[in-house]
Structure 1
């Protein structure tokens, strides 16, 4: 059993696809299949059920997966400890970031980081915050830049970098925009455009409406806030959006509710030794956040 077979197994299990695992590992699909087959032979059990193009973990595969993740994480941790001692700022740095943070908070920091540390191989993945959270917990990602959960897992270190103020918005020609002020009952007469129910924004809206005995009148749904902003701007409904995304195509709704702030920041696993590269990136992020970028 070696790391290459374990990596092929973990990536295939995580992505649910031999072809996607091959893309992640930069090897051919047949090479991934061969490595998984070698691992199955070594452990003496089938790890995946293959039904047509669909694969699923067997009971043996489910039992092996957390152990394989732990072994790979400990090996990577050992490598980082040695590199850190040597002072190296190089190698692979895996970072997951939400689409909103990637578009609106990261560009300047990434430009500086890649210029200052050209020997770092940046593996930047665009995940929804909830997916990135799980990836850090499982040891698949070193850092995640996400909307922070109000109840973080004790295994994770989390730190706020930015506070996003959120406002209810409609298009400038929406009937609500003609009101000086409005209330949730009036707002909810029109369709809302929200991300998935388990997201910070959606949970806030559901809670505020529920406090007033209202069930959200929801229309289109997408997790991409820039798409939501576009749909709101052309009059398809209202939404709750970060102040940083509100331009003159949108109208802030004056409504009786407490100020809403969404904490954005980073998380990493407390049991994982951060690489020198991760430390440098976090320092740059903190500096830029203090400057207001």
Structure 2
């Protein structure tokens, strides 16, 4: 079973399109179709149903999908291990980060890294932390630098690098702006703008209020902290933002509760052989 046919199979399965799979693999559509036909001939059954323009996996295709992923990851892992023997730092490093960390934490690290290791092709993805976790888990990402989950995740090696203190803030003309010290209960009487539901940061915030038996009035939500800052600054609600984002557009509120910190760091898969490029990136992050 050749890896090229498996790569074509995965690309068609993920995109549900022969043409999009061809673009992803830098091949012609007939070449992708030929590879799929070769694989179907080898396994002795159809892997895709083609109904009009719609492409979907057959039962056999669904059975082959996780096996194909494991085979390709094992081949890639072997190639990395062999390449590492040379001691050279090069090739592609597939790295994901959140927008906030990419803007506020990573620039000096990336600048230093690219200057030291110009042979590395940095494949940088900006993703929500939750999607980055999934990418490292399924092997599409070699590593991620993101907000860390509030609970351990199986098969992932997670390293805490920084702590972001989240500050309670509001607009200067908000009714809460001139209060001396507020309780969590007082905040619940006003609308707030927060990160989207089920994100790691939102979970940390809700846990603090839930421990006090309180629920929040969330009027708007987004994963982009810069957008949250804007919405808060124009009076759409109070919010929590990393202290590094607090400017004159906002008033930091004094709340009768211990500070809320969110952990930031990197994660890699415990069963994956890291490339020399990834090892050097970890050294840069921890340095």
- Equivalent in the alignment of 1:162: 162
- Equivalent in the alignment of 1:144: 144
Distance 1:44 1:117 in 2: 46
1:7-51 deviation digits (Å, cap 9, x = unpaired): 233244345555654554344566545544443343333434456
Q: 1:204 to 1:5 in 2, by over 3 A?
A: same
Distance 2:53 2:181 in 1: 55
Q: 1:253 to 1:32 in 2, by over 3 A?
A: farther
Q: TM-score, normalised by structure 2?
A: 0.90
- Equivalent in the alignment of 2:74: 74
- Equivalent in the alignment of 1:238: 238
Q: How does 1:17-166 map to 2 (within 5 A)?
A: 21-28=21-28, 31-50=31-50, 55-166=55-166
How far 1:123 moved relative to its partner? 1.2
Q: 1:271 to 1:257 in 2, by over 3 A?
A: same
Distance 1:9 1:269 in 2: 24
- Provide structure 2 residue ranges, at least 5 long, that are not aligned to the other structure: none
How far 1:200 moved relative to its partner? 1.9
Q: Secondary structure at the match of 1:111?
A: helix
- Equivalent in the alignment of 2:266: 266
Alignment length (residue pairs):
287
How far 1:196 moved relative to its partner? 2.2
Q: Secondary structure at the match of 2:89?
A: coil
Q: Secondary structure at the match of 2:93?
A: strand
Distance 2:241 2:104 in 1: 13
How far 1:210 moved relative to its partner? 2.5
Q: 1:191 to 1:83 in 2, by over 3 A?
A: same
Structure having the higher Rg: 2
Is the deviation greater in 195-204 or in 45-54? 45-54
- Equivalent in the alignment of 1:178: 178
**Is the CA contact (8 Å cut-off) linking 2:147 and 2:201 kept in structure 1?**
no
Is the deviation greater in 212-221 or in 78-87? 212-221
Q: 1:128 to 1:25 in 2, by over 3 A?
A: farther
Is the deviation greater in 27-36 or in 271-280? 27-36
**Is the CA contact (8 Å cut-off) linking 2:150 and 2:204 kept in structure 1?**
no
Distance 1:33 1:173 in 2: 62
1:83-131 deviation digits (Å, cap 9, x = unpaired): 1111121111111111211111111221222222222111111111111
Q: 1:189 to 1:36 in 2, by over 3 A?
A: farther
Distance 2:147 2:199 in 1: 9
**Is the CA contact (8 Å cut-off) linking 1:201 and 1:240 kept in structure 2?**
no
How far 1:190 moved relative to its partner? 2.1
Q: 1:258 to 1:87 in 2, by over 3 A?
A: same
- C-alpha RMSD of the superposition: 2.2
Q: Secondary structure at the match of 1:175?
A: coil
Q: 1:35 to 1:235 in 2, by over 3 A?
A: farther
Q: 1:15 to 1:245 in 2, by over 3 A?
A: farther
How far 1:266 moved relative to its partner? 0.8
How far 1:160 moved relative to its partner? 0.9
Q: TM-score, normalised by structure 1?
A: 0.88
Q: 1:254 to 1:274 in 2, by over 3 A?
A: same
